[in-house]
Amino acid sequence: MPRIRICGFTLLELLIALLIFSLGLIGMAGLMMLSVKTSHSAYLRTQASFIAQAMVERMRANINGVWGGSYNGSYSDTPGTAIPACNSGGGCDPAAVAERDQSAFTAALAQFLPDSSATINCKTTTTPTSTDLLSQRPYDGICLMSITWSESPLTRGSEVVPYTLNWAFQP
């Protein structure tokens, strides 16, 4: 009687194929985790950039507040009271506008960046005259803004580390 040759896979071949496939899936899961962490890191850096840009634009809109040093100081991610309103009939003076801007800046830090803080320090060698302030003369000094937040690094088991965005600008 002739032997009939049976073609197909043995159980051992199937188990080896399943093992190789499983290792590939585990590698893909690791890449997905790295992708999510990288994406979140990019998100936080983008938020820090947006928050900084918004504050710079506020400062440019209130150049007299910058001349007066109203924006200099440290900011934390602890939201204070509600953003103050200017209820007087004459509108806000530059210091009141700066206070509103600082409240909005602090609220953005608290909302978008974990464990964040910021500092703004504007320095100039010129003292503006009253005519300069009335004409809203451009600020001739340099402002330094630093925003720091906490973020998990890409390596496993590492503790949260601080990241900082430093920006020197002229409002």
pLDDT in tens, 57-106: 999 999 989 988 999 999 987 766 666 677 666 677 888 899 989 999 99
Q: In what order do the strands lie in the sheet with 142-151?
A: 73-76, 117-123, 142-151, 161-169
d(CA 32, CA 67): 49
Q: Which phi and psi (to 5°) does residue 55 adopt?
A: -70, -40
pTM for the model: 0.79
Q: Which residues pair with 148 in a beta bridge?
A: 117, 164
pLDDT at residue 79, as a whole number: 67
pLDDT at residue 92, as a whole number: 79
What would the mean pLDDT of 139-157 be, rounded to a whole number? Answer: 86
Closest CA to 80 of 106, 50, 115, 111: 106
Compute the half-sphere exposure of residue 80: CA atoms within 13 Å on the CB side of its CA.
12
What would the mean pLDDT of 6-24 be, rounded to a whole number? Answer: 85
Amino acid at 6: I
What would the mean pLDDT of 99-120 be, rounded to a whole number? Answer: 92
CA-to-CA dists, residue 12 to 4, 8, 22, 26, 139, angstroms: 21, 12, 15, 21, 77
What would the mean pLDDT of 147-154 be, rounded to a whole number? Answer: 88
Which residue did the predictor score with more confidence, 50 or 90? 50
Asked whether residue 9 carries a pLDDT value surpassing 90, the answer given is no
Which band of pLDDT confidence, cut at 50, 70 and 90, is reported for residue 43? Answer: very high
Asked whether residue 141 carries a pLDDT value surpassing 90, the answer given is no
> Across the chain, what does the average pLDDT equal?
86
Residue found under tokens 């506008």:
97
Beta strands 117-123 and 161-169 are: unpaired
